[in-house]
Amino acid sequence: MKALIALELNRLAVEDISIAPPKTGEVLIRMKAAGVCHSDLSVANGTVPMPLPMVLGHEGAGVVAEVGPGVTNVKPGDHVVLSFVPACGECWFCVRKEPHLCVRCDPRGRMLDGTSRLQLRGQELGAMSQLGCLAEYAVVPAMSVMPIDRSIPFAGAALVGCAVMTGVGAVANTARVEAGATVAVFGCGGVGLAAIQGARLVGARQIIAVDLADHKLEYARRFGATDCVNAGEDPVAAVKALTGGWGVDYSFEMTGRAAVMEQAYAAARRGGSVCIVGLGRYTESMRLNALLLAGESKRILGCFYGSANFRVDMPNLLALYQAKRLDLDGLITKTYGIEQAPSAFDDLEAGRNARGLILFD
């Protein structure tokens, strides 16, 4: 099969690789759609350190082709969406109702038994998030698979596996934004646009979008932003001016840049909440004033995967989509074939799309 591989740092290639059948507790998926996500780029460029070579892809949907022994939650022919966190239900975090922090996800890209199903010319490959779904097929843990209604298009469903779950979840689960609140979203890529939709869904009265790219601010208006700020000037001053000088109740950072995290913190009002969603470099730190940290009484919230319970939140988000209250299709601004995947990542790095998507035959 063909797959997009990070062969080494900053070197992507589509290669023909071999894939072994699913073992106990595993499922073979024929991929139909996979999102082009900044987290994949972060693995490829070393922002998120993982051992390479690795098949990228952690946001996808497809059809069950085969199940291994012991699999009971899906069967061949089922339409499914994938979760990049397994949520085993048994580890310390899952038992404490924090399945988004499940420890069964292997950063080395190996399956639950510690082995790989993928090889390139005899060399074992990792599978990002135990999925590696930027490929024509993927062997994944059955606990990472959610069946969906056949009427739901694969393209939209794929986005719920990461961008939409993370963005809407940041608003609804992590920050718990209440109706009537004021919100600022720093970074209007796929996750940021999902957060803007989430803020609209929970009834935020003011949603301020902040980005350097005017075309992304136009996307933001389309998805529910009430105000837009180009970050090329002073975004903190602009956000405060739009909120009577106080700042917003809830500020969301989506870029992973430490300087933008500091802006998001400064744009929140005293007593407000700052939700950090973007993945920054391990070598970078966010600077905080030691006096004002207590004096301004702001809450800093880290957000991974939207603090989601995917078995509950994924069906809810898809139901909102079916009810036309959540726009998934509009997030997709360009589609590609698997052979074009490197170009899709060039477009991602250049900020050309809201969300790019790889479609498979």
Write the pLDDT tens digit of every residue in 217-227: 999 999 999 99
- Give the H/E segment covering residue 251: strand 248-253
By the 8 A CB rule, do 335 and 356 touch? yes
- Give the H/E segment covering residue 27: strand 26-36
Q: What residues pair up with 139 in beta bridges, in sequence order?
A: 28
Domain boundaries, the chain: 2-147+328-359, 167-303
Measure CA 47 to chain center. Answer: 15
Backbone angles phi, psi at 321, to 5 degrees: -65, -45
Cα atoms in the Cβ-side hemisphere of radius 13 Å centred on 230: 6
- Count of Cβ atoms closer than 10 Å to residue 63 Cβ: 16
| 214 pLDDT higher than 90 | yes
Position 205 scores a pLDDT of 98
Question: How many whole angstroms separate alpha carbon 157 and alpha carbon 60?
Answer: 8
Place of tokens 């809450």: 299
Question: How many whole angstroms separate alpha carbon 259 and alpha carbon 177?
Answer: 24
Cα atoms in the Cβ-side hemisphere of radius 13 Å centred on 325: 13
- Give the H/E segment covering residue 333: strand 332-336
Confidence of residue 345 (pLDDT cuts 50, 70, 90): very high
Position 180 scores a pLDDT of 98
- Cite the DSSP H helix spans in 161-189: 163-169
Q: What is the pLDDT of residues 98-155, one digit of tens each?
A: 999 999 988 899 999 999 999 999 999 999 999 999 999 999 999 999 999 999 999 9
Q: Which class is 2-147+328-359 in CATH?
A: alpha beta
* CA-based nearest residue to 223, from 255, 183, 251: 183
Looking at residue 125, what DSSP letter applies?
E
Q: What number does CATH give the domain 167-303?
A: 3.40.50.720
By the 8 A CB rule, do 168 and 161 touch? no
Position 104 scores a pLDDT of 94
Amino acid identity for residue 8 in this structure = E
Q: What is the pLDDT of residues 18-69, one digit of tens each?
A: 999 999 999 999 999 999 999 999 999 999 999 999 999 999 999 999 999 9
By the 8 A CB rule, do 224 and 193 touch? no
Confidence of residue 306 (pLDDT cuts 50, 70, 90): very high
With H, G, I as helix, E, B as strand and everything else as coil, classify residue 6.
strand
With H, G, I as helix, E, B as strand and everything else as coil, classify residue 147.
strand
Position 126 scores a pLDDT of 97
Q: What is the pLDDT of residues 191-207, one digit of tens each?
A: 999 999 999 999 999 99
| Through-space distance between the first and last CA atoms of the chain, rounded to whole angstroms | 12
| Mean pLDDT within 255-284 | 96
Position 361 scores a pLDDT of 85
Average model confidence (pLDDT) across the chain = 97
- Count of Cβ atoms closer than 10 Å to residue 9 Cβ: 11
Looking at residue 135, what DSSP letter applies?
B
Q: Write the DSSP string, 161-221.
A: TTHHHHHHHIIIIII-PPTT-EEEEE--SHHHHHHHHHHHHHT-SEEEEEES-HHHHHHHH
Amino acid identity for residue 355 in this structure = R
Question: How many whole angstroms separate alpha carbon 347 and alpha carbon 107?
Answer: 26
Predicted structure pTM score: 0.96
